[in-house]
Amino acid sequence: QAWITNQTLLSVAPYTQYIWYAIFLLQGLFIAASFIPSLWSSELLGYHALTDIPTGLEAFQKSIPVVHYPALCASTALSVYSFFQWNIMSLAFAGSFASTYFSFNIIRYQLKHVTISPNYGNSFRKIKRWMQRRRVADEKNTLNESLNGRGDVTNNGVLQYIFLKLPFELYAGYNLGWSVSLLNIIVHKSITSVLFDAVLAYVSLSALLGVGCYMMWKEKKGLCYGVGVGLAWYLFGVFFELVHPSSTVVYTTYSDVDIAAIKYMSVTFAGILVSIVALWAIKHVIKGEKRKRLDEEHDEEEEDDDDVGKFVLHGIASVESGGRRIIDEAGDGVDHVSMVIDDALDEAEEGVERVFDAMGV
């Protein structure tokens, strides 16, 4: 009943609220990340940062996820209960605004502490293959790493994104739209002006599009897909609520022109955000395949270099072996010549003695 009694141009369809199930599930994944050995030490989670700075106010000011998370949960509970149970829109907006603040601060912290660069996994695989080619890997250490969860999972950026970043990005995107909707409800109740409500709705939709485009297009380091998806889901909810309204309040309050304008603005802006998400995803996949191909070519070059090195070493060994044989044979020849000369000198000495004997000397 809360949506029906607080209808504005930016109210969403009731089924749009099902996204909260996905958000809470992702929040559960974030909590579970604290117990996964391959993720709990990540800077995206924040436990590692607590060892470098004092806890308390300084840790809170640095937007560390594990420090901000309790405040995020509390403000979310305040917003939900104030809207659905207490019907206090100002308190619901305060909680929603605080949740948006905490979630975007966490996202900002994570963007500054991305632990996995696009080439990190490839570099790890190069080192691993290099060690395997030279048979340096220790099977015991490999087994221990697998048992402790520090294998290839650590280098899987997708896993870290789903567990550590997507919970806040999706929440921030949808909650931003939720905050704007609550603001429109408060203004609608405070200022009884249909024109002002319509202008505020236009400005709100434009602001949501600007924030979504900025987060996905500008923040290339983090690629905030979740923010765009959350905002797009909210905008689609606005569109379908105007197409199939759950109440006639909007159509009896606002003009058909304003309703049509908000309807097509919301679906157009949602399409723009989804298109940006799709373009970034496709570009990311293409770049990943390109890096993979370059990595394979580099590995082939390294294997060729290894083959050349082995050939050179074999040639050096062959030359060394041949040289030793030549030296040995030359030594044998010298010994043989020395023996021949000694025999010749002995025979010459005996011949001279016979000549002297014949002469009677």
Distances (CA, A) of 341 to 11, 334, 344, 353, 354: 117, 11, 5, 18, 20
DSSP string over 148-161: HT-SGGGG-HHHHI
Q: What is the DSSP string of 300-360?
A: HHHHHHHHHHHHHHHHHHHHHHHHHHHHHHHHHHHHHHHHHHHHHHHHHHHHHHHHHHHTT
Whole-model pTM? 0.69
DSSP string, 198-217: HHHHHHHHHHHHHHHHIIII
Of residues 332, 197, 233, 217, the one with CA closest to residue 21: 233
- Record the tokens describing residue 4, joined without a space: 């029906």
Residue by residue, pLDDT tens for the chain (361 residues) are: 666 778 899 999 988 989 989 999 998 888 888 787 777 677 777 666 566 555 555 555 555 777 788 889 999 999 988 988 888 899 999 999 999 999 988 888 888 776 443 343 443 344 344 444 444 444 444 333 433 334 443 345 778 888 888 999 999 999 999 999 999 999 998 888 899 999 999 999 999 999 988 887 765 555 678 899 999 999 999 999 999 888 888 888 899 999 999 999 999 999 999 998 898 888 878 877 777 777 666 666 555 555 555 555 666 666 566 666 666 665 666 566 566 556 655 665 666 566 556 666 5
Q: Is the dihedral of CA 26, 27, 28, 29 positive or negative?
A: positive
| Amino acid found at 209 | L
